Structure 1
């Protein structure tokens, strides 16, 4: 029987993801330890323990992870290059469960590599597979897949529903469905996994608030009676090719900040809204039972976000 989890370390606790994971863990009565980098000045919620360690220092990380039952990798995808060190430290510290650095798109889909944007996470997956295989069953893992965080991205103007511009961008037919989630659902899903680790061990677990098409979103916004909104149609023919060309250009230029590049944004759109779902952004059939929140909840959320 899998050991119950009580003590949870979060790596990447001060980012947009940590902001929702930590309150959810505290509310569920987990003992939370945040692993921060040296020099970090960001504040953390009351009730958490704080330990400092550079991700490049395995010895320091091992000490920081001492006494932890699980480690949650909540860092920026770029930090996935430290996966080897984190896993080595977790094993040395006796950690039994790893929550992988996912909490977003379907990186476990067979075509994920072709999307290009998931490179760091796929590298982290391969390293995890290697270390778990060598651990003789002492290290378990779960990946939490939630799709894009629609409320958080709308608030920041990076969703295809733009509050500031009062536009809805419809790529191609607009019929392709995509599984999306509230940002806070990441924390709720994490609590569910850590509360019942045996149920979710050694697999990707899929959670989503809704699975909708752009046309469905357009209809919901029309039903809300919000004035001044318009639909902007963008042909999808050739869109993926242009996005990949931008990615190649950035590669040739040595661009390091991929996450905030035009190429990343374009390739994310392809990965999420491809007409044939070739990257698995519609994972409705894989979502854990009972997690879909229904149309009424989505409509209420859109009303609050867009009013």
Structure 2
């Protein structure tokens, strides 16, 4: 049976996703929001702050007693952090857990087989196990790529200063892009619709677009001449995986895996993403 969600705990509130989720939760005015923080920090007015030990399931579960929902927006590479949060939430009797996914469709074959998504895969498996054994419910928010962050960080392959584009494959694969603000709003809305979002991924997007379409808009807005390099992603992907197997761990090896997905229709496409934020 569904229930009304009022008390919400948020982990990772100082991150790119977490800050937008916190903003959206506070804007709703229907939630009592508690931020779980590793150390004393300043957060927007309206949020209660609890300093917790993220390495202790006991400390986390104590902090989560009385919470209706927990939202995990942590992004540390340590897979143990989300697993401890999930276990602690179940132990505290939390009704709904939103995992720190916020990415590609976890139901598409092959997505969670990639090393870059091992943390997300472990969280998904753990929360489904808790739902089956302890009746805690869950939701994943699948939003594709972060549109604004990908543009500002260069992750989208567009360098506005040098006017160069690094194109993934032919650049024509259409897939979801979502702004961080829209991710925050959608996450808050999940908790306003607990029955509709029960034990499943929720698919959202701000726009469906290919990298080439994004590149065309960038050229139109910025003006001037651009230089584009089109890249065969398969050998680049295989090199990244080989680097990981040989212990040559780098951020680039993980970035390439996501860019490979965005270029591959089987791993990133509109599909079920039918909810416009």
TM-score range, shorter chain: over 0.9
Q: Kindly tell me the number of residue pairs found equivalent between the two proteins.
A: 276
What's the counterpart of residue 151 of structure 1? 148
Alignment gaps of 5+ in structure 1: 292-307
| Distance in 2 between residues matched to 1:176 and 1:55, nearest whole Å | 39
Deviation at 1:77, TM superposition (A): 4.7
Q: CA RMSD in A?
A: 1.9
- What corresponds to 2:256 in structure 1? 266
Distance 1:28 1:207 in 2: 19
Choose 126-135 or 150-159, whichever is displaced more. Answer: 150-159
Q: Distance in 2 between matches of 1:221 and 1:85?
A: 42
- Asked if residue 219 in structure 1 is aligned to residue 216 in structure 2, the reply is yes
Shift of 1:193: 0.6
Cα deviation, residue 25, structure 1:
0.3
C-alpha distance after superposition, 1:19-48 (max 9, x if no partner): 1110100000121100111xx254211111
Conservation of the 8 A alpha-carbon contact between 2:138 and 2:198: yes
- Runs of 4 or more consecutive aligned structure 1 residues displaced over 6 Å after TM superposition: none
In the alignment, structure 2 segments of 5+ residues that lack a partner are none
* TM-score with structure 2 setting the length: 0.92
Task: Kindly indicate whether residue 33 of structure 2 is the aligned counterpart of residue 36 of structure 1.
Answer: no
CA offset digits 1:81-108 (Å, max 9, x no partner): 2334322321232210000111122233
Give 2:228's aligned residue: 231
1:192 correspondence with 2:182: no
The verdict on how the C-alpha distance between 1:102 and 1:237 changes in structure 2, with shifts beyond 3 A counting, is closer
Pairing partner for 2:200 from 199, 203, 207: 203
Maintained 8 Å contact 2:102/2:141: yes
- Out of 277, 286, 292, the residue aligned to residue 272 of structure 2 is 286
Q: TM-score, normalised by structure 1?
A: 0.84
CA distance in 1, matches of 2:232, 2:78: 35
Structure 2 residue corresponding to 1:171, chosen from 130, 153, 168: 168
Give the Cα separation in 1 of the matches to 2:88 and 2:170.
Answer: 48
Q: How far, CA to CA, are the matches of 2:98 and 2:234 in structure 1?
A: 37
Cross-structure match for 1:297? none
Give me the whole-angstrom Cα distance separating, in 2, the residues matched to 1:41 and 1:164.
38
The answer to whether the Cα contact below 8 Å between 2:11 and 2:71 also exists between their aligned partners in 1 is yes
8 Å contact from structure 1 (residues 246, 262) kept in 2: no
- Please give the secondary structure, in 2, of the residue aligned with 1:243: helix
Q: What is the DSSP-based 3-state SS (H/G/I as helix, E as strand, rest coil) of the residue aligned with 2:79?
A: helix
Determine which structure has the larger strand proportion and give its number.
2
